[in-house]
Amino acid sequence: MPFRDATELRNAVRSRQVKAVDALEAVLQRALAANPALNAFHEILVDDARAQAQAIDRTIAAGRDPGPMAGIPLAVKDNITTRIGQTTCSSRMLQGYRSPFDATCVERLQAAGAIVMGKTNLDEFAMGSSSERCAWGPVRNPWDPSRVPGGSSGGSAVAAAAALCGVALGSDTGGSIRQPASLCGCVGFKPTYGRVSRWGLVAFGSSLDQVGPLTASVRDAALTYAVMAGADPRDSTTAPTAVQDPLAELDTPVQGLRVGVPRQYLSADNDPRVNATVQASLDRLRGAGATLVEVDLPLTDAGISTYYVIAPAEASSNLARFDGIRYGFRAAARAGQSLDDLYAESRGQGFGPEVQRRIMLGTYVLSAGYYDAYYGRALRVRRRIKDEFDAAFRVCDVIAGPTSPTPAFAMGGLKDPLQMYLCDVYTVNTNIAGIPGISVPVGFAMEGTRRLPIGLHLQAPAMEDARLLRVAAMVERLHPEANARPPLPLA
């Protein structure tokens, strides 16, 4: 892409230095060339995208304002509905499904001039941390195609990191935006729960899910968030309070910032290269005028246990709608089959193994006799986790640590489901508490001759998304060498 980031592309389009159709074409050609090797996209919507770009150029030629996202090619995670193309959740259950409506986030971004250019692959129904469990084949890491991109928004992370789009949308239930952003070397931002409408996001864990951007720069993330965020009458869990402009003070200097560093985060269980890179990043912040404050989050390790009760419980309810009747996959009818058999056969054949595991976990923890012991208890731990964050934020402005305990791992490297779940140890509590979190590239681990990106994870109190983005921009400015693109084309 001939542009540093999407904001630069937008500026060039708005100031008529480049036509939207030409900017789009450059991005489309990269995406079409790289996708066979990386499998970031399920669909690249070439004709639809060109038509949208022509409409932007006509708006500009007519002297009208094309909007703050003018000409930015948007890659949309395939669990977010779009009227154009399919919305499959990377599941056989929704193969060929065409949504009758656009998600609110997509609608707002398109109204602001963004161009929907494709749908990106994910772990089926956003359940996974490697994007290997995609019905349309695994997604590959652009820095080393023998490794995973992380997940579940792996396709969106690859598209953002390798400049196969302008901006990508993801969803984050326990780390699904931030962990792949860390493993692919882009910015990944999960806003406060309730800031971005979930209308049109296929529900997984309704009290945890949030839509957010994956981008080449913090200012791109701030721009995309500013356009998407705010109350939506179609999602009653969106907050009614006004959205602070995240772009206004993005250049705030580091001086006076208090960075909380939980003693639990730089654990000896992490890859030592991750700990060294995160420590070096914290040292740069201190060198630039920040104060590092040690904070205590003793329930960090309880997050995975809490999450793997709450998220499957909510998923088992949400995914009950896939029954083979109104839409989605229906198993071939057999003589003498009951309606229950049809449901069970359709769900048995339409869902992949991980989705089935989570539905069964959720069904178990919600079943009579186990509800209080599992679900009730997890909800109480949830409040204690939130209280712990509240206490920590009384002495610091943001909390910092690694996004992922390791850099990108080898495909097929984590076969045991529980080991895969533990990838999200530093990100699940953000969703459990409902606070905002962001991953910013801060360095690389060397693996032979290859570089594997490492992200710094920042968290802020609920509704302090603008503050979080300000601090992320500080971190970005302190690590110019980490802001690199993977080499293309790829074999």
Which residues participate in catalysis according to the annotation? Answer: 77, 152, 176
Q: Is 242 an interacting residue with respect to another protein (CB under 8 A)?
A: no
To another protein, the closest distance from the beta carbon of 209 in angstroms equals: 11
Considering the complex, state which of residue 126 and residue 432 has its C-beta at the smaller distance from another protein.
Answer: 432
Member of 294, 380, 390, 391 binding another protein (CB under 8 A)? 380
To another protein, the closest distance from the beta carbon of 357 in angstroms equals: 6
Which among 32-40, 71-79, 174-182, 365-373 is the span making contact with another protein, rule CB under 8 A?
Answer: 365-373
Q: How far is CA 269 from the centre of its chain?
A: 24
Q: Is 190 an interacting residue with respect to another protein (CB under 8 A)?
A: no
The one-character DSSP state at 392 is H
Do the beta carbons of residue 86 and residue 63 sit within 8 Å?
no
Q: Which amino acid is at 256?
A: G
To another protein, the closest distance from the beta carbon of 365 in angstroms equals: 8
**What is the Cα gyration radius of the chain?**
21
Q: Is 119 an interacting residue with respect to another protein (CB under 8 A)?
A: no
Q: Is 92 an interacting residue with respect to another protein (CB under 8 A)?
A: no
The CA distance from 358 to 54, in Å, is 44
Q: What is the DSSP string of 117-164?
A: EEEE--SGGG--SSS---TT----BTTBTTB---SSSHHHHHHHHTTS
Member of 172, 345, 388, 465 binding another protein (CB under 8 A)? 345
To another protein, the closest distance from the beta carbon of 111 in angstroms equals: 18
Considering the complex, state which of residue 375 and residue 444 has its C-beta at the smaller distance from another protein.
Answer: 375
Between β-strands 187-190 and 437-447, what pairing exists: parallel, antiparallel or unpaired?
antiparallel
Q: Restricting to residues 13-72, which ones interact with another protein according to CB under 8 A? A: none
Member of 329, 393, 426, 444 binding another protein (CB under 8 A)? 329
Q: Restricting to residues 156-185, which ones interact with another protein according to CB under 8 A? A: none
The CA distance from 210 to 360, in Å, is 23
Q: Is 117 exposed, middle or buried (0-12, 13-18, 19+ CB in 10 A)?
A: buried
The CA distance from 296 to 404, in Å, is 19
SS3 label, residue 269: coil
Which among 30-38, 94-102, 449-457, 466-474 is the span making contact with another protein, rule CB under 8 A?
Answer: 94-102
Member of 159, 223, 227, 381 binding another protein (CB under 8 A)? 381
To another protein, the closest distance from the beta carbon of 161 in angstroms equals: 29
The CA distance from 431 to 382, in Å, is 10
Which among 246-254, 321-329, 395-403, 442-450 is the span making contact with another protein, rule CB under 8 A?
Answer: 321-329
